[in-house]
Amino acid sequence: MNHYGKKFGLLLTLTLLLIAATSLIQAFATDSSTTDEVRFLQKVPLTDSEIKARWPDLPTAQELYSKGFCLVVDLRYCGKQVSSMNDDLPDPDSPIVVDIESMIVNCTMDIPDLLHGGILLDVPHIWLQYDNTTWVQVPMNILGYSSN
């Protein structure tokens, strides 16, 4: 595929995604008369006591990290500007490009179900602190969340 074909394919894909997102937003705007409030992509914070009450047997961040099947964010590097493509990690002193720290929030969210259509309600996002700069996200299967 030539250079222009790749550009056209990318443009077509982005256009289709924009149309789909617009339709989804319009669907929420026109269906606001229901009694159930949809908090689409709004973070509803969870306190430590709420987390302990809902998930009393959560593993520690160290246990999750050692098993290796979790999302790990190290704030020394994540969201930092990369100075060279030859470097394995960004310089910890480089400027912040994306504020990752503000995304680490224990909360629930209503999010789109991209596999089946519709909306997944109250999807939990739980982060555990591994050390001073590293956070581990608890996997959905441990939280007992199922989209079915």
Q: Which of 45-49, 70-74, 83-87, 123-127 has the lowest mean pLDDT?
A: 83-87
What is the per-residue pLDDT for 35? 46
User: Which ranges constitute the DSSP H helices of the chain?
Assistant: 3-30, 48-54, 61-67, 140-143
Whether residue 126 is predicted with pLDDT greater than 70 in this model: the reply is yes
Cα→Cα distances 40→2, 13, 33, 113, 119, Å = 40, 24, 15, 11, 8
Q: Which residues of 42-59 are buried (b: 16+ CB within 10 A; e: fewer)?
A: eeeebeeeebeeebeebb
What is the per-residue pLDDT for 147? 64
Alpha carbons within 13 A on the beta-carbon side of 94: 17
* Residue in the block written with tokens 């909306």: 119
Question: Percentage helix, strand, coil, to 5, in the chain?
Answer: 35, 20, 45
pTM exceeds cut of 0.75: no
